[in-house]
Structure 1
Amino acid sequence: MAEGRTVLVGGRASDTTADTPGAVAEIAIADGLIAQVGSAAGQVERRGGDTVIDVDGDIITAGLVNTHHHLYQWMTRGRATGCNLFDWLVTLYPVWAQLDVEDVLAAARVGLAELALSGCTTAADHHYLVPRGDDSVFDAIATAAAEVGIRLHLARGSMDLGESDGGLPPDHVVEDTESILVSTERVIDRWHDGEMVVVTVAPCSPFSVSETLMRESAALARRHGLKLHTHLAETREEEADCLARFGQRPLAVLEEWDWVASDVWYAHGVHFDDAEIARLAQAGAGVAHCPSSNARLAAGFCRTRDLRAAGVPVGLGVDGVASNEQGTLMTEMRQALWSARQGTQDPAALAAADALDMATVGGANCLGRPDVGRLVPGARADLVVWPGEDLADIPDPVEALVFGPDRRARLVFVGGQPVVQDGMLRGLDLAAARRDLAQRARRLWP
């Protein structure tokens, strides 16, 4: 329709990237959707009633998609900085057990705001700690997402295997299986709308959940037509734990539990062998690559080149900021490049366009969202305008964005609505939210 369109003009594109989701020069938004895209000036028609925004040399991309996060961990940044995963968890479980719902709300506000300011329009939060059984923590996370204005994939995480039953987490931070399943149904009924909030069923990891919970969760999710998510193949310690307890590697264990399918994506996926990569591709299961967290915890490097070459959907994830203190996908795009090249000792292992693809289309594919992560007519109008004045000397805009200095978004639209404008968040007082978070976090300091 002619009325109410927003048209961005003057963006920067190059011949080598104009046909990718990464770079366009002009774009028209109408009714919350992308109406028209042009890779050069003048390709998008002007209509009477259009609101035209000149972005003069800035870089336009699809909104970034974060496939794995733990927002509550904004309460514990900078802790356990020299540990492997298991030691890190053992150190932090007692601290996380002290959190309450208001703490989780404060952390989610800051975490989602930081994501929005750094170009993320869709974020998957895997929340698996329910202090004292109060599952209103999930209401708090959804409330924070509504305040900030970005899409939330709310992963109702869970743990039911405490130390006394052979699991890693202490008994006082796990829930009983039946309570988890009842709560998951409640979260779905209250929050799932398939657009702004998508609920995911997400038991935590093989070393913190029972086989019963995994099987029952899979059945529950499939009754509702929802996706499944869990941590998998993150560390050698996890692999050794699965071999000791089940006599099989982690993916084989999940295969027996009916968790290798196109409605599943896994966090990390660092230690898959060739046969497992082929099986993932055959099944259509995805991987959330979290390169900064993997590096900080010395977990290893994800075989992103091999996974992508096999056809496995690969997205990027921030993971928790207790293992990645920045909490932005801008950081992860560059770190994904460095990890792939360092791990393979091949400078062609991953290109800037590949990193941006994982941060947009790849992430959307993991989440089962063909409507986001793309700058194509008919997709949701989730897009980012990045400041480009300091990148004008770099020939290719996508390489400029990924290789260049970290930056905040100038404009962020979600469903055609501005969430960030002139580099400022519209829906939340971030300074006040940061003060609240800091005050709460300090009470947990040793």
Structure 2
Amino acid sequence: MSNGSTGPNQAAPGPHHDPDANPDPAAGGSGATVERTVIENCAIATVDAAGTEYATGHVVVAGQVIEAVGAGPAPAGLRNVVRRVDAAGHLATPGLVNTHHHFYQWITRGLAQNSGLFDWLVELYPVWARIDEPMVHAAASGSLAMMARGGVTTAMDHHYVFPRGAGDLLGAEIRAAAELGVRFTAARGSMDRGRSEGGLPPDFAVESTEEALRATESAIDTHHDASFGSMLHIAAAPCSPFSVSTELLREAAVLARRKGVRLHTHGSETVEEEKFCRELFGMGPTAYFETTGWLGEDVWMAHCVHMDDADIAAFARTGTGVAHCPSSNARLAAGIARVPDMLAAGVPVGLGVDGTASNEAGELHTELRNALLVNRLRGGPAALDARQALRLATLGGARVLGRAAETGSLEPGKLADLVLWKLDGLGHASIADPVAALVLGPAAPVTLSLVGGRPVVESGRLTGVDEDAVARATREQARRLARIAGID
């Protein structure tokens, strides 16, 4: 950075690859010389295991991977450099990783403004049950655009509302992610416990158990790509204990493990959910999930607000991950998750935007600041610091999604998913510590965001879509849904 500051882990220059050597095929070279992008003169927070930071350093990108990271200028003699970026005044970080979202809610923002979770769901389920493919594509485009413009390079969505005759809703989301150019985990959600079966959603908003399992398997077979650098993963994701049968939970876990994909659901979000589980199953949510095969290193759950010491110990013992959604939890008055205790126990934790009907801001950068602030409200000024917040949003999220070997930190051999944050403007220039400026300051402009070495944001604007056109489409589809649902 231009102010020359660094965090507490200033390090010697990192390893460099021989620029004359044939690159690894993973870089996209297949033995041939690859195109390189050189970024220099910026502060760097690598978020590696040691927390390495550089006051002024460089990143070399070769093809889709990071070739070198270190202090000072990039090494001389690099071949086939197609772009050099003078990033003075910027902080380079790994791209942000969103671990929980509901894209379709982008077109129902601002509704049920003063409700807790169960009342909020009861009010909105009848509206959501009328979505269709054009609505979901527009909503996914808006959600992804907002996140990508704010530094997200790996997005995730949990879609679980599939009205009959609505079209290919999961495909609409996948198409939107491809248009934006972001890495994507599409969690094929499901609900089979309607109100007549003791669940929360209306009966017309749910699938049968067999339909849900069949559609989930089809989504995996059609779309999941497990290769290095994959742009698309599929996860199996029954919605929640109060909208899903025990059979669906158990069979979805069996299916996911047979197919080698991850599992996602909501867990321990509210005190009402705790009461629901104890009344229906005779145990709390964590114990119930364990009886259905839903604790493990291939599982992550959203929220996990109301967890006692035994619950946290069970997550730590099994490697079950958590998507922490502080803004949504506050919007619905669900409570404050015990994130510092989870981290101390070794629970994998990432950050999530959650659906924009409960987090109208719709971008992940806000969650770094809010995660730090709300956890200090509960645990005091040392509960969470700026670097921990950044780690939650990057490597923590990559671990939760099962992609920590590929992304989440700036290290040679990892995918070139990185962001340049402009910190020399009015909102940040007087904060000496660049990581503190990013986390505690206002939303920082994104000058450049790369996904696999390809720009998805340039000078604060998306490269893959017309932002104004996306905004118009979301407005039109929101109005259309309001008319159909009778709320206009």
- TM-score, shorter chain, exceeding 0.5: yes
The alpha carbon displacement at 1:3 in A equals 4.5
Cα distance in 2 for residues equivalent to 1:48 and 1:173: 57
> Any idea what the Cα deviations from partners look like across 1:339-381, whole Å, max 9, x if unmatched?
100012x111000000000000100010110211110111100
Q: Name the counterpart of 2:144.
A: 112
Instruction: Determine the C-alpha separation between the residues in 2 that align with 1:7 and 1:302.
Output: 40
Note closer, same or farther for the CA distance 1:31–1:205 as it changes in structure 2 (3 Å cut).
same
Counterpart code for 1:353: R
Partner of 1:355: 389
| Mapped pair 1:326 → 2:348 | no
Asked whether the 8 Å contact 2:48–2:411 carries over to 1, the reply is: no
Give the 3 Å change call, closer, same or farther, for CA 278–63 of structure 1 in structure 2.
same
User: Which residue of structure 1 lines up, in the alignment, with residue 95 of structure 2?
Assistant: 63
Separation (CA, whole Å) in 1 of partners of 2:76 and 2:317? 43
1:427 is matched with which residue: 434, 446, 464?
464
**Residue 22 of structure 1 contacts residue 60 of structure 1 at CA under 8 Å; is this kept in 2?**
no
Letter in 1 for 2:208: D
Gaps of 5+ in 1: none
Give TM-score scaled by structure 1 length: 0.96
The answer as to 2:296 corresponding to 1:266 is: no
- State how far apart, in whole Å, the 1-side matches of 2:161 and 2:441 are: 37
Distance change >3 Å, CA 22–CA 95, structure 1 → 2:
farther
State the TM-score, normalizing by the size of structure 2.
0.88
- Alignment partners' CA distance in 2, 1:255 and 1:70: 25
Residue 163 of structure 2 is matched in structure 1 by 131
One-letter code of the match for 2:473?
D
1:223 to 258, 273, 292: 258
Residue 48 of structure 1 deviates from its aligned partner by 3.5
In structure 2, relative to structure 1, the CA distance for the partners of 1:234 and 1:54 (3 Å cut) is same
Pick closer, same or farther for the CA change 1:16–1:201 going to 2, 3 Å.
closer
* One-letter amino acid matched to 2:72: A
Alpha-carbon distance in 2 for matches of 1:406, 1:108? 22
**Aligned equivalents of 1:121 and 1:71: distance in 2?**
16
Paired position in structure 2 for 1:20: 51
2:450 pairs with 1:413: yes
Provide the secondary structure at the position in 2 that maps to 1:413: strand
Aligned length: 444
Distance in 1 of aligned mates of 2:281 and 2:167: 31
1:21–1:61 CA contact under 8 A, matched in 2:
no
Q: For each residue in 1:44-74, what CA deviation from the matched residue of structure 2 results, as whole angstroms up to 9, or x when unmatched?
A: 4451432211111211000000000000000
**Equivalent residues of 1:169, 1:208 under 8 A apart:** yes
Alignment of 1:430-445 (within 5 A): 430-443=467-480, 444=482, 445=487
C-alpha separation between the residues in 1 aligned to 2:139 and 2:75? Answer: 41
Q: Partners of 2:53 and 2:176 in 1: how far apart?
A: 28
Offset of residue 4 of structure 1: 1.2
**Where does residue 335 of structure 1 map in the other structure?**
370
RMSD: 1.7
Kindly provide the CA deviation profile for residues 325-345 of structure 1, in whole angstroms up to 9, marking residues without a partner as x: 01111100000011100012x
Determine if the alignment matches structure 1 residue 49 to structure 2 residue 80: yes
What's the offset of the Cα at 1:16?
12
List aligned pairs for 1:199-348, cutoff 5 A: 199-344=234-379, 346-348=380-382
* 1:15, distance to aligned residue in structure 2 (A): 12
Residue in structure 2 matching 1:35, options 64, 67, 72: 67
Question: Within 1, Cα distance between the matches of 2:369 and 2:287?
Answer: 32
Q: Which residue of 1 aligns with 2:29?
A: none
C-alpha distance 133-282 of structure 1, shift in aligned 2 (>3 A): farther
Q: Percent same amino acid among aligned pairs?
A: 52
Q: Which amino acid aligns with 1:156?
A: R
2:231 to 196, 201, 225: 196
Instruction: From the superposition, tell whether residues 105 and 377 of structure 1 become closer, same or farther in structure 2 (CA, over 3 Å).
Output: same
Cα shift at 1:135: 5.9
Closer/same/farther in 2, CA of residues 3 and 231 from structure 1, 3 Å limit: closer
What amino acid maps onto 2:141 in structure 1? R
- Deviation larger for 7-16 or 386-395: 7-16
Q: In the alignment, which residue of structure 1 is the partner of 2:130?
A: 98
SS in 2 for 1:60: strand
**Which stretch shows the higher mean deviation, 40-49 or 172-181?**
40-49
CA shift digits 1:53-100 (9 cap, x unpaired): 111121100000000000000010001010000000000001111111
1:368 correspondence with 2:399? no
Q: Specify every segment of 5 or more residues in structure 2 that has no aligned partner in the other structure, as ranges.
A: 1-22, 24-32
- Summarize deviations over 1:100-153 as a string: whole Å, max 9, x none: 111000000111011110000001100000121546101100000000000110
Partners in 2 of 1:86 and 1:94 — Cα distance? 13
**Equivalent residue letter for 1:431:** D
Residue type at the aligned position of 1:127: H
Q: Secondary structure at the match of 1:259?
A: coil
SS of aligned partner of 2:388: helix
